[in-house]
Every structure is written in structure tokens, then in C-alpha cells.
Amino acid sequence: MNAKYKKSLKIITLLITAAIVATASATTYNYMYIKGSASITTGGLSWALGSSAPGAATVSGYNVNNLNFSILKNTFQNFTDSVRLTNADGTSHTFSLASTVTAGDTSKFTTFDMVVYQTDGTRIAKLSVKNQESAASLTILGSETLYVRFEVDPLLDADSGYMAFTIQLTYT
């Protein structure tokens, strides 16, 4: 009987072990994760599209793309709030603007000016894009937003015309 008792004890031990393993295996674990990163940046200046920006215009990083204006023949047009310059810092920055004509014919336009102004309408700078003018020592206050207006007047009776340009903003 002693041998049968040992065999029974082994079988019972195996059954208990199997039950424990089965219970542990049947437990459902739910996991949750947070995946992220952190980086240190300064706010600096950034572009934003204004309320009169052309429909295809976009902002990608430090670049405004597809700011393509369509002007009717013999019609002066003001694109009052086409682009905004925002200062995300609490401190002021000094900046300069430089315009470059990259393609097309400037003679097809009587006026093609860029005007930078404050919320209250105070003009900060005005430069002729068609004449590739620049402006220096301009200031944007901490947390301020400046507005950019383009004033475009085609040559009288010009049926067609095209001019591509780049405006470079440099700030400290």
C-alpha cells in the first residue's frame, strides 16, 4: 500500500501543478504604453497664413509656399492679410527682409510691394519686390504678430504677365 500511496501522491502533485500552470496561462494581461519624446527649442519667429492668403498657399517649417496671387487686368489689388509673422518668444527680435525676383518679367507690373504692419495698422516696413528692395533693423516685440500685405498693380492694359519672387527674413 505504501507504493500505491506514493503513486497517488505523485499524481495528485502533478494534477495540482497542472492546475496552477493552467490558471497562470489563462490570466489575460492588458498593456498600455506611452510613446513620446521631448526636445528643447526656442520659440523664435514663425509664419502663418492670413485670411487673404491664396488657397494653395502652405506653411512648411520656415517656408511659405505657393503664395501665388492672381490679379485682374487693369486692377490694383491689396492682399491685406496674406501672411503673418509671429514671435513665439517673450523677447523682441530684430529682423531684416530682402526680396529677390527669381523669374518672370517685372515690367508687367507697375507696383508689386510688400508691406509689414502691426495689428493697429502701423506700418513697420514697405519694400518693392519688383525692384528687389530690402529692409533692415526691423523689430518684432515678444509675443507679437505682424501682418504682411502685398500691393499689386499690373501694367495698364497688360493681358498677361508673370513674376516669381522670394522674400528672405533674417533675424537675431
Q: Write down the residue that cell numbers 505682424 correspond to.
A: 146
In the chain, the domains with their CATH numbers are 45-171 (2.60.120)
Query: Could you give the C-alpha distances from 32 to 26, 28, 29, 35, in angstroms and in order?
Result: 20, 13, 10, 10
Q: What is the per-residue pLDDT across 123-162, written as a single tens digit (0 to 9) for each?
A: 999 999 999 999 999 999 999 999 999 999 999 998 888 8
The average pLDDT across 15-29 equals 65
User: Does the pLDDT at position 35 exceed 80?
Assistant: no
C-alpha cell at 161: 504677365
Alpha-carbon torsion angle 106, 169, 95, 142, nearest 10: 130
C-alpha cell at 115: 508691406
Instruction: Identify the band that residue 10 occupies on the pLDDT scale cut at 50, 70 and 90.
Output: confident
Considering only CA atoms, give the Rg of the chain. 34
Under a CB-based contact definition with an 8 Å cutoff, are residues 82 and 132 in contact?
no
Res 90: pLDDT: 87
Choose between 19 and 64: higher pLDDT.
Answer: 64
Q: What is the per-residue pLDDT across 39-89, written as a single tens digit (0 to 9) for each?
A: 555 578 999 999 999 999 999 888 999 999 999 999 999 999 999 999 998
C-alpha cell at 150: 502685398
Strands (E), 31-144: 45-49, 58-60, 63-65, 77-87, 93-104, 109-117, 123-128, 134-140
C-alpha cell at 135: 529692409
How many Å separate Cα 62 from the centre of its chain? 7
